[in-house]
Structure 1
Amino acid sequence: MGSKADKPISRREMMFIPFNVQEYFNTARILDKKGQARPLVTSEEKVVITGKTAADFQTGGISPMQSALLLFVIVTAATIYGIRKGKTLWGIDLILFFAAGVAGCILAFLALFSQHPAVSPNYLLFVFHPFHLLCLPCMLNRVRKKKTSRYMIADLVVLTLFICFWAIIPQRIDLAVLPLALCLLIRSASNLILTYKRPS
């Protein structure tokens, strides 16, 4: 969801939430010509009864935050290994930036073309955006040849600013996004480290 989803909504906008409509309908009263009040809803009937409670929908598996942290640890360890051995490990870049690009395409489509008022603007597009896919071939070509990638430099700057200004971004972003952003940042930084030429 975009930043508008975090803003307070009006009473009219609350009517788009089925549970709120049900609550207001149950308490609504109609006044007749004689001034006598009668309830708008006299009875309720559940059409579909699942027999399940909220506890039945809770999963006991790994959480998104745990998954993101696990990925962050793996990427960090692999990057440190690659830097020490002088290897680019471009396969990791392919997987990470491809996945981030696909996610970015979905977010961009929702932000640009969806009629839903709560999906735009979405500041997650600073992390996940279609440019990851568009620039992926050129970026990987530079990485494989152990040359500095300008795209990775730009990505490093954008991600650094995104993380630094995390607290003041006018959108409630799940904390699990932070390890994912750090994964992309670390891979971009590794390219600069491996291609850095010390002055002789």
Structure 2
Amino acid sequence: MSEQYDVLVIGAGPAGYVAAIRAAQLGMKTACIDDFIGKDGKPALGGTCLNVGCIPSKALLDSSKQFHNLTHGFESHGISAKDAKIDVGAMVGRKDKIVKQFTGGITSLFKANKVTAISGFATLKANRVVSVKDAEGKSTDYSATNVIIATGSQPIELPFARFDGKHIVDNAGALDFSETPKRLGVIGAGVIGLELGSVWK
């Protein structure tokens, strides 16, 4: 017999976690399922946006803007910054700390609103049964009166251009460079592509 919920939300990104919290606030027994694993190897709520998208790219964008202002915008104020350098490791570390704060905030909101967080890959089956496979490969079935699918998107790896972590990376890889690339081509002019292009420029 599978555990029964009023609402099961598949996906813990900005659409999913907000839907789960609101359903719980309206008095429904609610769970939210997501399979994202953070850099620390632990489950992380927030989906692409909070983990490897909008929030981390904006954190890096803020840092790179500060560096740009230091090297290009302060001379008119009489401020000189000769031989300014950027510590990419520290910049990425700051980004990681911000991501951890945001994802931890969602965990706290789930606890406060009595939303059950379930870590694993969800498969929707007949009659609103959701099978969740955890990191160890164990599957557990859950059933619900209502299922909300909020799975978002992920980058497409082309068969002739695999992500190798060095020459070809996805958005997650572009958030974790160890140094500023000498050359960088960005395919995709969405928010993340534009922001990461600006960061590394």
- In our comparison, the structure showing a higher alpha carbon Rg is 1
TM-score (norm 2): 0.29
Query: As a proportion of its length, which structure holds more helix?
Result: 1
Query: As a proportion of its length, which structure holds more strand?
Result: 2
